[in-house]
Structure 1
Amino acid sequence: MSADSLFRPLTPGDDTVQIEFEGLPLTVPGAVSLAAALLSSGIRHTRESAINGRLGAPYCMMGVCFECLVEVDGQANVQACLVPVRPGMRVRRQRGAACLAQGEEGSDE
């Protein structure tokens, strides 16, 4: 994925898209990363540590620090800085450690 389209100044008049964050509708700039869109909308933290509940927010904006983890459309552990924003995204804060093993949630096994 090219980073060229993700790192540019946000200017008034940019195209916007509608997303949902924690159940609240947001109008955010289009053609930017989800992390940039959330920060530009005043979202101050995107995750809570599994160890001590410490709040985390986008920091490096290039996928190194994992501070921007969110849940997108039911998929946990998404790095918001690496995902382009798209219309209709349903985003939730990552709260603690998410289950990574397939079949554990909602499974009858």
Structure 2
Amino acid sequence: MFRRLWADDLSATIFLDGRPVLCRPGDSVAAALLAAGVERFRTTPVSGADRMPYCMIGNCFDCLMEIDGQADRQACLVTVAEGMQVCSQFGTGSFGTL
């Protein structure tokens, strides 16, 4: 669906659900995962439908993921860091426990 115009400098590695994903330093987590072909970032709390980024600017919350142990992070607003642990979020994450 998405592809990079240039595949240069894929020197950073993050881990999605334990699997390594090569990405470009400076990318947002959402951009890196979309470029790697990831099509599901989270599921909705009510129906369990798959969701992926929509706006890429932080206005919606379709890209919520668990990043480095913290649930409900907007992947489009978080910059890739070497070794970052990213997990798909199912349902409400920690937000639903407030």
- The TM tier, using the shorter chain, reads 0.7 to 0.9
Residue 88 of structure 1: aligned partner? 83
Aligned residues with identical type, % of pairs: 41
Runs of 4+ in 1 over 4 A off after TM superposition: none
TM-score, structure 1 normalization: 0.79
Deviations 1:71-96 (A, max 9, x none): 01110000000001110100001110
Highest RCO, 1 vs 2 (Cα 8 Å, sep ≥ 6): 2
Residue 65 of structure 2: aligned partner? 70
3-state SS of 2:73 partner: strand
Amino acid at match of 1:83: V
Q: Distance in 2 between matches of 1:79 and 1:10?
A: 24
Residue 36 of structure 1: aligned partner? 31
Amino acid at match of 2:57: M
TM-score, structure 2 normalization: 0.87
Could you say what the CA RMSD is over the residues aligned between the two structures, in angstroms? Answer: 1.6
Residue 61 of structure 1: aligned partner? 56
Q: Distance in 2 between matches of 1:16 and 1:56?
A: 27
Give unmatched runs, 5+ long, in structure 2. Answer: none
